[in-house]
Homo-oligomer: A and B are copies of this chain.
Amino acid sequence: MPEAQSPTRKRIVDAATRLFYAEGIGRVSVDAVAEEAGLTKRTLYYHFKSKDDLIAAYLDGRDQPNLKRMAGWFEAEQGGVDSKVEAIFANLARATRHPKWKGCGFLRTAAELASMPGHPAVKVGARHKSNFETWLAAELSGHHIEGPQALAREIVLLMDGCFSIMLIHRNPDYVEAAGRAAATLVRARMSGSQA
């Protein structure tokens, strides 16, 4: 029985994270992950019962870092809520320009597992996306916004639209456009506003 917080386990997850994100879960073999981690496949299978298990662990490890990154962008912006939302997209547009950027790992994994809706990794992804939506709704509350939950969902849709379409067009203009649309939706729900 392997320890949940074993350093070896962490090395495996780190290696899996690098490879799975860069190449996609279907294009990376367990052998490749083991080699990247500097150990043998048998050791990997001592710490994880299957590749599916490892995929879920990979996504689980990305949940909090991703949320903190988004929250950091949101909080760093000094303007109103609409500006804070738009700032997330502005930072995202910058991130997509990085050569190693390959979209959202959660969405890409869900796309690869579209024929297995109950896959544990998809459940981890669903939890992450819900976490983000809930966090955003909380941030939007108490700013004279009607329906912060509904607004958070609309913004999530725009953001995931960015992630997906960027893999097709590779054109950050789409992310900027999404940011403007998100700001429009925020202002449309601000009481006393007419645009």
Contacts and interface: CB of A to CB of B under 8 A. Distances in A.
B157 A162 contact: yes
Contacts of A174: 153, 157
A114 B103 contact: yes
A74 interface: no
A121 to B, nearest CB: 10
User: How many monomers of this chain does the complex have?
Assistant: 2
Interface in A170-195: 170, 174, 177-178, 180-181, 184-185, 188, 194-195
Contacts of A181: 154, 157-158, 185
Interface string A114-156: 1101000010011001100000000000000000001001101
Q: Which of A122, A129, A164 has the most CB of B within 10 A?
A: A164
A45 to B, nearest CB: 22
A112 B26 contact: yes
Given A111-B111, A159-B161, A154 B168 contact: no
Given A27-B115, A115-B102, A107 B168 contact: yes
17 contacts: A24-B114, A26-B26, A26-B27, A102-B114, A103-B114, A107-B168, A108-B114, A111-B111, A111-B167, A129-B165, A129-B169, A130-B169, A153-B177, A154-B180, A158-B158, A158-B181, A163-B164
Interface of A: 22-24, 26-27, 102-103, 106-108, 110-112, 114-115, 117, 122, 125-126, 129-130, 150, 153-154, 156-165, 167-170, 174, 177-178, 180-181, 184-185, 188, 194-195
